[in-house]
Chain A
Amino acid sequence: MDDENLERYLAEFQPRPVRALEIPPSIGRVQLWWIAAAATISLGVGVLWSLLPEMRRAKDAAGVAQVRPAPGSGQSSLNVIALTRLALEDEEQFEVLLMERSRTALPSFEGENSMLRILAKE
């Protein structure tokens, strides 16, 4: 029997039929659940992304407000970034602030070798 006849003979044998594929409905549900979860996460990220510039502006404004001298009080924390921003945005206010600070914040005399202590002794 040559190859061709043998192939023909073998092709007379057919695999036994099998039962139909049983796709459980949970597969569709799982897929939908994943799609819903992905959509929710995307939405959340999108909202955060759109709010981010707004939040950054608010934070910066708060930082600037923090270094602006409150009327009557010479106290404020000196944040370098906020001070720089204030200097760029409102030069006049910045000068006022520096002036205010120079009146209230004096160099410390506590250091043993501080130049001011030496001058005071003299």
Chain B
Amino acid sequence: METIKLAADEVKTLYERHGSALVAYACSCGVDFASAEDVVQQIFLKMLRSWQSKPQVPLAYLYRATRNACLNLRRDRMRETNLPEEETWFLHGGGGQEQVLTLQQALRDLPEEQREAVFLRLWSGMTLLEIADATETPLNTVASRYRYALEKLREWLRRQ
């Protein structure tokens, strides 16, 4: 009973800290906000059910699982309507929705690995070394992905 409570508490804490970033990440993988919320909730519940074999680095697992679930969802819904273009999954302190939409589009256009590195670094607060460990990728590769992503984002934002 105590184990179940601990697991639930830990999963809830993880969700509170990273849930919104994961939902935004899911949106950047081409899923609408409501579906992204469902996908992320399901992943957290699945992790809670199989708590005994929880991953060593839950955050890296959560990002990978989210990406895979979104790819599956998109494949299943290929013939359905397109995404609502004006839907925002980021908020900006200045309140400019145009800036938000620009950033979202820029993130969507990034290659998958670069987008993952940006989300893990900027919105989940991991260092490049932690990302390298978590994704089992050489540090240089992670650093390159992140640097290329920043280049592209900078270019994108400059053009707007």
In the complex, per-residue mask of A1-28: 1 if CB is within 8 Å of any chain B CB, else 0: 1010011011111111111011110011
A13 and B41 in contact (CB under 8 A), knowing A7-B150, A21-B11? no
Contacts of B94 in A (CB 8 A): 12
CA–CA, A8 and B123, complex, Å: 12
Contacts of B158 in A (CB 8 A): 1
| Contact of A10 with B122 in the complex, beta carbons under 8 Å | yes
18 contacts between A and B (CB under 8 A): A1-B157, A6-B150, A6-B153, A7-B122, A7-B150, A13-B91, A13-B100, A13-B103, A14-B92, A15-B90, A16-B88, A18-B20, A21-B15, A21-B41, A22-B41, A23-B11, A23-B12, A31-B4
- List 11 additional contacts besides A15-B89, A32-B1; criterion CB under 8 Å: A1-B158, A3-B147, A10-B122, A11-B122, A14-B20, A14-B92, A15-B24, A15-B90, A15-B123, A21-B15, A21-B16
Q: In chain B between 78 and 125, which residues have their CB closer than 8 angstroms to a CB of chain A? A: 88-94, 99-100, 103, 118, 122-123
CA–CA, A118 and B100, complex, Å: 113
Contacts of B11 in A (CB 8 A): 21, 23
For chain A, the bracket of interface size reads: 20 to 34
In the complex, per-residue mask of A38-75: 1 if CB is within 8 Å of any chain B CB, else 0: 00000000000000000000000000000000000000
CA–CA, A23 and B48, complex, Å: 9
Q: Nearest B residue to A22 by beta-carbon distance? A: B41
SS class, residues of chain A in contact with chain B: mixed
Q: In chain B between 146 and 160, which residues have their CB closer than 8 angstroms to a CB of chain A? A: 147, 150, 153-154, 157-158
**Among A12, A16, A22, A30, residue most surrounded by chain B Cβ atoms (within 10 Å):** A16
A18 and B153 in contact (CB under 8 A), knowing A13-B92, A31-B4? no
Q: Nearest A residue to B37 by beta-carbon distance? A: A18
The verdict on B23 contacting chain A, using a C-beta distance below 8 Å, is yes
| Contact of B19 with A18 in the complex, beta carbons under 8 Å | yes
CB contact between B45 and one of A7, A9, A15, A23 (< 8 Å): that residue: A23
The verdict on B63 contacting chain A, using a C-beta distance below 8 Å, is no
| Contact of A16 with B4 in the complex, beta carbons under 8 Å | no
The verdict on B49 contacting chain A, using a C-beta distance below 8 Å, is yes
Minimal beta-carbon separation of A112 from chain B (angstroms): 72
Q: Nearest A residue to B51 by beta-carbon distance? A: A31
* Closest 10 A/B residue pairs (Cβ): A15-B24, A15-B20, A21-B15, A13-B90, A15-B21, A18-B23, A18-B20, A31-B4, A18-B19, A16-B89
